[in-house]
Amino acid sequence: MPPVLATLLSATLHGLVGRVVRVEVDVAPGLPGFTIVGLPDAALSEARERVRGALRNAGYRHPPRRITVNLAPAELRKAGASLDLAIALGVLLGSEQMSADIGGVGLVGELGLGGEVRRVPGLLPMAIALRDRGVRRVLVPQEALAEASLAPELEVIGVGSLGDAAACLRRPRARRRAPEPLPRIGVGLGASPAGAVAGADDGLDRVPDLAEVRGQVAARRGLEIALAGGHALLLIGPPGAGKTLLARTIPSLLPDLDDTAALAATVVASVASEAPVTKLQRRPPVRMPHHTVSYAGMVGGGPRLTPGEVTLADQGCLVCDELPEFGRDVLEALRQPLEEGSVAVVRVGRWATFPARFTFVAAMNPCPCGRLGSAAAACTCPPGAPQRYLRRVSGPLRDRIDLWAAMDRVPPELLLRGPAPESSAVVGERIAAARACQLSRNGGVPNGRLGGRALREACGLDGPAVARAVLLSEREGLSGRGTDRLLRVARTIADLAGRPVVGAQDLDEAARFRIPADRFALGLAG
Amino acid sequence: MLGVGRRGPLGRDAGPEAGGGASAAPQALEEHAAWVVLAGARGVGPVTFERLLATFGSAVGVLRAACETGAVPRLVEASAAPDAPPALTAVAAATVVEAAAEPERALAAVRRAGVTVLTQRDESYPRRLRQVELPPPVLFVRGEVAALSPAHAVAVVGTRRPTAIGRATAGRIAEAVGAHGASVVSGLAYGIDAAAHHAAVRRGAPTVAVIGGGHEHLYPAGNRGLATAIVAGGGAVVTEFAPDVAPSRGTFPRRNRIISGLSDATIVVEAGARSGALTTAAWALEQGRALFIVPGRLDDPAVAGSLAFLREAGPEARVVAGIAELVEDLGLEDVGVAWAAAATGDARSAAGLGAAEALVAGALRRGAGSPDELVAATGLPGAAVLAALTTLELRGLVVEVLGRYQPTGRLADCPRRLPRAMGQGAAGMPAV
């Protein structure tokens, strides 16, 4: 039998991006063997065993020949099991157990020993990568058909087993398009690692409505402004003030994502999720990592360049409760995403840049005992302890927080008899309108990322407003960065009110969300 | 004044290499340097110092005597007064002998700390402190020496663990007296002391910190930045302890004596049952200086000491009835500082408030403190309340402490009208 070379197209995942891999299978006479070359990782090297088992159990022969699988480009490090299907079909073609036209066809899927085709994480970005390389048809695991179908302008065929795939390639007419996605209730990532505000309505994960938060006008307003303008917000208050409850209402306040953002969020979900993603992620993700999260867990990394919490929160919201309890290096790592909207993960020989455009909401106690500034109880911390506590959040990170809102426990009187608070629906509508308005004005940039001249132009301050801004800056002794912070927040306040230019009243309100007034007492001077 | 730190070595022949002729060292010392050496010896307080000086005629004389054989019993004997036992123990006398043998050690510590030394013999020794009984013979000063003898000086002291209100009150008082040209004296401790110093520094008013240890052991370390800011702002950090003296239990009460001694009046803001601020208050009365105590709620542990002291001290201790009243009682006059009006409350600043601000101001006066309470009391939307608070703050009518708001300045003044029988009428009282 003459040697036959089969060449197939597949893809692997590199960070959040699919990389097209050309799978070349050479079945040659010689001592029986199975070699995979081209920088495979451990999971990929084990493809030999999976392919061998799948071929046998699906009713094919595993040819007793010298099988060499080359993965091109050779210098690209390949990981995962996404190439299994392509390798198995390559062996079938190379050993002439089948013949098919595989030009312009992509194959992505992991094989079970029984020949079944299983989903791999990151199917969506892989499908997109194949499409971008001119592939028009992609065979994917049946169970993840809906996920891959989210890639626009691509014919996607779901296959349940190796036999299905072979049959499908022999009869290219029998294609199956994804069914319409089922409506799904809930927010966040469908099935995701611990820490997500999941959508399941089992009471524990229920998203509270803003109407359940009584009192706390300053903090509520701060949250509204933060979500509307994409500003970083820090809630400071004693235990029991309602910081966590307030943070948990965030999913009910964020508007739906537009098409581009939704696709980006879905790509992240596709990479991070262990179950197939069934529809476009219209709801922005809200991540609440626990303060014990590791550095790699926060920014991403690991042997396979897995995205971290900051990337899982891309297009949505990252909530850090008990901010000073987070590791110092973890907090410092937040600076880059807060500044640039992305994070670079570098490993030996590999690197990836992950998107991380999230709204940052953090909460903390004012001091270790939690009672500083509380009306009800006196702080029992030793002298200097509150200052040290706050300094765990470093100056550069504090500088990136636009909004500071103090909270105190709501007295029972107000809790039971206070004015009825606005509901999430009402506030969410204002947020959505303010977002739409600022994005169209700023050319797609949220107010929270404005600075310098763009910010001044966006504010359009008139004479009296400039005088007010100068007065406030001087009174607070604000640096240039502090003044920018004031203007950014004022711009969003004006957007929430539908005012085209920022007025003195907006600046006045913005000034209330500065770093706490007695920053001298807190040792934050200078 | 003789700046030891700036002038370099004083005892020219008293370097370590001169150790062979130990008895020769003191003769080479100038009297000023001898004061530093003698006052710096452990166990030598103002009493001992005075008695030794009386016996030997000069500090140089004392050190010379200490270098002779059999000096210890002689020094102990000399430290006794006709009607009092010796102030010096044999152990303490031995330290004097040691210090006299190696005067350079004390002088080097002073040079190392880079501080200015003031002795009672110096012109610029603070005049108020000179008037108290047994003033410290030597002061070690970092910063502006002239700041120790201002036209007016007011001490603001209190607990190291104040309530938020106490902290704000200390700041307001410091601002107000600073605005009227008085220097603010305090002890650089956490809490009330720091709040008073901070307020003065922030407003550019001179302030003096009296520390309870040597300059090399600045305590508390957390206020090191504040100390630097005080010096940079034209104030001074001062102590009677040599630079290498570590603070200890005994040094702080002695520090308190200097705080009150440097001031025309002492104001106690918050003092718990065992607060050290009360020793400052007692010293102020002892030294014949004015004493004011900020009263508080009954049963409030934060002011338990203040109230007990008021009860015990009798009419000499006065009450702070308001910032403007305090300024008046202190006899301070408007010196034309721009922000004085805002600090003490000025009728003009309350005028011209918008409708929302007026509503919020009214609610603040009725005791609403948090934005929630203000929203409930005024019926205004949260955004309007927050904006109004900034307007009020810019006018000096409200201060924020960690999310709670208190009326201040003019807005904090309560309408006060005294009965005619008291003979004061309403003249001079602010009408609201």
More confident residue, B341 or A191: B341
Residue A448 CB-half CA count within 13 A:
27
Q: Which of B386, B391, B405 should we substitute to test contact with A (largest number of A Cβ atoms within 10 Å)?
A: B386
- Give the mean pLDDT of A382-397: 83
Closest C-alpha to A81, from A113, A128, A33, A34: A113
A239-297 residue pLDDT tens? 888 899 999 999 999 999 988 889 999 999 999 888 888 888 899 999 999 999 999 99
**Which of A498-507, B27-36, B191-200, B386-395 shows the lowest mean pLDDT across its residues?**
B27-36
The verdict on A418 touching B (C-beta cutoff 8 Å) is: yes
CATH topology of domain A210-326+361-427: Rossmann fold (3.40.50)
pLDDT at A37 over 70: yes
Is the CB of B386 less than 8 angstroms away from the CB of A508?
A: yes
**Chain B residue closest in CA terms to A385:** B222
Is the CB of A508 less than 8 angstroms away from the CB of B302?
A: no
A90-114 residue pLDDT tens? 999 998 888 887 888 999 999 999 9
User: Domain residue spans in chain B?
Assistant: 4-9+20-112, 127-329, 345-412
pLDDT given for residue B11 in this prediction: 37
pLDDT at B223 over 50: yes
pLDDT given for residue B342 in this prediction: 54
pLDDT given for residue B119 in this prediction: 93
Q: What is the mean pLDDT of chain B?
A: 83
Range(s) of chain A covered by CATH 3.40.50? 210-326+361-427
Q: Which of A509, A514, A519, A522 should we substitute to test contact with B (largest number of B Cβ atoms within 10 Å)?
A: A509
pLDDT given for residue B413 in this prediction: 65
Query: Which residue in the set B160, B376, B400 is minimally distant from A414, CB to CB?
Result: B376
Number of Cβ within 10 Å of residue A487's Cβ equals 25
pLDDT given for residue A202 in this prediction: 46
Q: Which of B188, B226, B372 should we substitute to test contact with A (largest number of A Cβ atoms within 10 Å)?
A: B372
Is the CB of A518 less than 8 angstroms away from the CB of B225?
A: no
Number of Cβ within 10 Å of residue B92's Cβ equals 21
- Give the mean pLDDT of A45-71: 91
The verdict on A421 touching B (C-beta cutoff 8 Å) is: no
Distance from CA of B270 to the nearest CA of A (A): 14
Is the CB of B394 less than 8 angstroms away from the CB of A475?
A: yes
CATH topology of domain B127-329: Rossmann fold (3.40.50)
Cα B182 to the center of its chain, rounded Å: 13
pLDDT given for residue A196 in this prediction: 40
**Chain B residue closest in CA terms to A365:** B402
**Residue B257 to residue B149: CA distance in whole angstroms:** 16
- Give the mean pLDDT of A427-446: 93
The complex scores an ipTM of 0.78
pLDDT at B230 over 70: yes
Of all helices (H) and strands (E), which one includes residue A301? strand A300-301
Taking CB atoms and an 8 Å cutoff, what residues of chain B touch A236?
Answer: 402-403
Q: Is B298 helix (H, G, I), strand (E, B) or coil?
A: coil
- Give the mean pLDDT of B189-215: 91
**Which of A47-51, A313-317, A344-348, B408-412 shows the lowest mean pLDDT across its residues?**
B408-412
pLDDT given for residue B401 in this prediction: 73
- Contact between B235 and B144 (Cβ < 8 Å): yes
Q: Which of residues 218-247 of A touch B (CB under 8 A)?
A: 218, 220-221, 236-237
Taking CB atoms and an 8 Å cutoff, what residues of chain A touch B373?
Answer: 411, 414
**Residue A370 to residue A386: CA distance in whole angstroms:** 9
DSSP-assigned letter for residue B431: P
Q: Report percent pLDDT > 70 for chain A.
A: 90
pLDDT at B57 over 50: yes
Distance from CA of A293 to the nearest CA of B (A): 29
Range(s) of chain A covered by CATH 3.30.230.10? 4-170
Q: What is the mean pLDDT of chain A?
A: 85
- Architecture of the CATH domain A4-170: 2-Layer Sandwich (3.30)
**Chain A residue closest in CA terms to B381:** A217
**Chain A residue closest in CA terms to B167:** A521
The verdict on A526 touching B (C-beta cutoff 8 Å) is: yes
- Give the mean pLDDT of A209-231: 93
* CATH no. for B345-412: 1.10.10.10
B308-340 residue pLDDT tens? 999 999 889 999 988 888 998 998 876 655 555
pLDDT at A415 over 90: no
- What are the CA-CA distances from residue B410 to residues A88, B35, B325 (Å)? 85, 51, 12
pLDDT given for residue B163 in this prediction: 81
Taking CB atoms and an 8 Å cutoff, what residues of chain A touch B405?
Answer: none
Taking CB atoms and an 8 Å cutoff, what residues of chain A touch B393?
Answer: 511
Is the CB of A372 less than 8 angstroms away from the CB of B402?
A: yes
Query: Which residue in the set A217, A419, A521 is minimally distant from B198, CB to CB?
Result: A521
Q: What radius of gyration, in Å, describes the C-alpha atoms of chain B?
A: 25
**Chain A residue closest in CA terms to B301:** A378
Tokens 């123990």 -> residue? B89
Distance from CA of A239 to the nearest CA of B (A): 15
Of the ranges A80-89, A387-396, B402-411, the best mean pLDDT one? A80-89
Is the CB of B400 less than 8 angstroms away from the CB of A509?
A: no
B360-373 residue pLDDT tens? 988 988 888 889 88
Is the CB of B386 less than 8 angstroms away from the CB of A221?
A: yes
Of all helices (H) and strands (E), which one includes residue A287? strand A286-287
Interface A–B counts its CB contacts (< 8 A) at 116
pLDDT given for residue A198 in this prediction: 39
Is the CB of B390 less than 8 angstroms away from the CB of A372?
A: no
